[in-house]
Chains A and B, each alone.
Chain A
Amino acid sequence: MTKVSRRNLLKGGAAFAAGTTLGAPMIWAQNIKDVTLRQFGTGVSNLNDVANKVKEDLGFTLEMTALDSDSVTQRAATQPNSFDIADIEYWICKKVWPTGNLQAMDTSKIKNYDKIVGIFRDGKLTPESTIAQGTAPHTVGFTEGPDGKGFVDNESGWMTLIPTIYNADTLGIRPDLIGRPISNWSELLNPEFKGKASILDISSIGIMDMAMVVESMGEYTYPDKGNMTREEIDLTMKIFTEAKQNGQFRAFWKSFDESVNLMASGEVVIQSMWSPAITAVKSKGVPCVYQPLEEGYRSWGGGIGLSAALTGLERDAAYEYINWYLAGWVGGYLMRQGYYSAVPETSKNYMSENEWGYWFEGKPATDTITSPTGDALAQAGETRDGGSFQDRMGAVACWNAVMDENQYMVRKWNEFIAA
């Protein structure tokens, strides 16, 4: 054994101190280039532009796979070795976390943790906000410790998912084909739109849209839409099965592209829709409005989770990636598509004043608003459907959810589709 001299020890200590204070890239600047992280998730945030930018800014390779919500859940729950990073929604997290396929993340390693909006921390947008029904992100966002298997209701310092993206969803309409104001969820089942309505065929999200409609029709008020009893599920399905048999629906959609095609082709004039789908319809020159409704929004949130199998250099790279994700570039990119970033204030640096005003503050555009891919989405003077961040996220009526009676609901959903 060689003797450790005092001088060498000091040198080593200094190098170590320099390494930690100057940030990780110093240490693994060389071998990080060999790291490849495999990320999968729903199409909304699995963007090739993000992978390219990661390569440019951080030097490692990010492989993206986009799947639909069901497939994402399936893969996260059954194939833990097939991914390093799971980009999933909070309600999926509620299903997947108990399998132990994800690992808890240390919030002290997340630089912008303190700037993450309240929705993902204590559940409140502002101190006065009430928490909406359903699987609110903060309820499944924290676990008891590094090996936690359950959820805790406080900011424990160990997150299940690092929030990245969220939005408030509502119905999309074709104002040119409807020709009158729409202000309630109940319009989805209005016989006036017979054969021209659609709802999404993803049970856990579709059931929430249905619940919004049923409440709006005055048929029933749920104690908790996000956790229905069997009787409540039966009632909801009965109303929609009748509507289906009367020919209310043109089609059901499962993927983002299907919803865009249904709307752009005029097959459907009112349907459940996601924000960028509206953007996609508009960029084809077809008028389409993401209609704010009196009853409020159905909201969802997504985040990044790490595979339990991820260790060492790969895990360090993943943390680096998460910090980069929250640092603003991706946030700005997502916000210019109509989503919200978990750390809006960093995204602001990557948006023009006009874009920030339009997308976040609900102000009229001062110049043409373009999507990240360059399509014109709004002209000067137009305002965002639903207004500002506070207006939209402040009017959330429920979150996408997984119910205790989920399996029963799924069976009933299958019956609804087959009816």
Chain B
Amino acid sequence: MPIHTLPESPKVLKNNTLLGWLMALPIMAVLTFFLVLPILMIVTVSFWKATEFSIIPAFDLENYEFLFGSNVTYRVFFNTFKYAFITWVFTLAIGFTVAYFLAFHIRSLTWQIVLFLLCTIPFWTSNIIRMISWIPFLGRNGIANSTLISWGVIDEPLDWLLFSDFAVILAFVHLYTLFMVVPIFNTMMRIDKSLIEAARDAGASGAQILWNVVIPLTKPGIMIGTIFVVTLVMGDFITVRFMSGSQSANVGRLISNDIALLAYPSASATAVVLLLTVLIVIGIMLRFVDIRKEL
């Protein structure tokens, strides 16, 4: 339809519902094809059967029965939550501190931008490289151990520095802290400075201002950062594999092992359960904070 005819057809224009749907159509099409359909496919395949080299369409609950019947599943899910929780605590503490410093202690906008960009420098290299570069650093004969030994802090190399849960969480915190910094910094920048001045005039101490003014107003940013970190950590498999020396497992690794062995239905079933778990976690978090205020 030629554009100039649009103003002449007020019926179409006035029909807000129709117009709304039309405007939403492109994004709906994209999401349907690239999000909804693949997920439906995964759900479908999760009921299929597999032999070693082929998958057979069927409606079979065996994949789920095996998944829920094995105590390995529960242990691995527990492990996944453990990584997510500990990583969340550290990324939040570091991310909040960095964002607070940038937003309230740096007064000039130029310096705020410069320092913020400085935080993003590590992201100029790939995720995997940033992670793997920890390995020679933390190894038995690595820089960390040899430095500590030469300082006389320890006599024997610390084995738990590498190929351990410590290493996994260290890598997670390193990789994902920025995802916490950005949204928190963003919300903090929108806090009206006069509110803090008012609190100060009313006699609040620094800690009281932080607790009663800054944190409540930063909650949406914290929540967005939390969603980033939790979903990234719960969906990860490569960090756990490299940093634990393949000795620990999370759900992502279960899925990747299954895929490697062509057990797509079993991998799909695990993926569906993981997806539901993450959705429930996010659903619970969203009950606490209304992030729409942020968007």
Complexed CA–CA distance, A66 and B232 (Å): 29
Contact B254 A418 (CB under 8 A): yes
Interface segment among A72-80, A120-128, A146-154, A167-175: the answer is A72-80
A201 to chain B, nearest CB (A): 5
Instruction: Collect the chain A residues with CB atoms within 8 Å of residue B241's CB.
Output: 254
Complexed CA–CA distance, A299 and B259 (Å): 26
CB under 8 Å from chain B, chain A span 258-275: 261, 265-267
Residue of A nearest to B249 (CB): A418
Contact B246 A77 (CB under 8 A): no
CB under 8 Å from chain A, chain B span 236-267: 241, 244-249, 253-254, 257, 259-263
Asked if B5 CB lies within 8 Å of chain A CBs, one says no
Asked if A327 CB lies within 8 Å of chain B CBs, one says no
> Do most interface residues of chain B lie in helix, strand or loop, or is the interface mixed?
loop
Interface segment among B68-76, B171-179, B220-228: the answer is B68-76
A177 to chain B, nearest CB (A): 11
Complexed CA–CA distance, A305 and B136 (Å): 39
Complexed CA–CA distance, A74 and B257 (Å): 12
A197 to chain B, nearest CB (A): 12
Instruction: Collect the chain B residues with CB atoms within 8 Å of residue A407's CB.
Output: 52, 263
* Tally of contact residues, A, Cβ under 8 A: 35
Contact B140 A265 (CB under 8 A): yes
Complexed CA–CA distance, A74 and B50 (Å): 13
Asked if A349 CB lies within 8 Å of chain B CBs, one says no
CB-CB under 8 A for A195 and B159, given A98-B53, A265-B141? yes
CB-CB under 8 A for A74 and B140, given A253-B246, A407-B52, A414-B72? no
CB-CB under 8 A for A252 and B245, given A95-B53, A99-B53, A267-B140? yes
A200 to chain B, nearest CB (A): 9
Instruction: Collect the chain B residues with CB atoms within 8 Å of residue A70's CB.
Output: 260-261
Asked if A38 CB lies within 8 Å of chain B CBs, one says no
Instruction: Collect the chain B residues with CB atoms within 8 Å of residue A261's CB.
Output: 135
Complexed CA–CA distance, A338 and B90 (Å): 48
From B52, B136, B246, contact of A265 by CB (8 A):
B136
Instruction: Collect the chain A residues with CB atoms within 8 Å of residue B52's CB.
Output: 95, 402, 406-407
Asked if B163 CB lies within 8 Å of chain A CBs, one says yes
A125 to chain B, nearest CB (A): 30
- A196-223 CB contact bits vs B (8 Å, 1 = yes)? 0010010100000000000000000000
Asked if B269 CB lies within 8 Å of chain A CBs, one says no
Instruction: Collect the chain B residues with CB atoms within 8 Å of residue A77's CB.
Output: 53-54, 262
Residue of A nearest to B73 (CB): A418
Asked if A249 CB lies within 8 Å of chain B CBs, one says yes
Complexed CA–CA distance, A74 and B267 (Å): 14
Instruction: Collect the chain A residues with CB atoms within 8 Å of residue B162's CB.
Output: 267
From A74, A98, A402, A418, contact of B75 by CB (8 A):
A418
From A73, A267, A417, A419, contact of B246 by CB (8 A):
A417
Residue of B nearest to A402 (CB): B52
CB under 8 Å from chain A, chain B span 154-179: 159, 162-163
Complexed CA–CA distance, A402 and B261 (Å): 12
Name 7 interchain pairs, CB-CB below 8 A, sorted by A: A70-B260, A253-B245, A267-B163, A407-B52, A417-B247, A418-B76, A418-B254
Top 5 A-B pairs ranked by shortest CB distance? A251-B245, A252-B246, A70-B260, A418-B249, A77-B53
Known pairs A77-B53, A252-B245, A418-B79 / 15 extra A-B pairs, C-beta < 8 Å:
A70-B260, A77-B54, A78-B262, A99-B54, A249-B247, A251-B244, A265-B142, A266-B141, A402-B52, A407-B263, A410-B261, A414-B249, A414-B254, A417-B253, A418-B72
Binding site for A on B (CB under 8 A): 52-54, 66, 70, 72, 75-76, 79, 135-136, 139-142, 159, 162-163, 241, 244-249, 253-254, 257, 259-263
Binding site for B on A (CB under 8 A): 70-71, 73-74, 77-78, 95-96, 98-99, 195, 198, 201, 203, 244, 249-254, 261, 265-267, 402, 406-407, 410-411, 414-415, 417-419
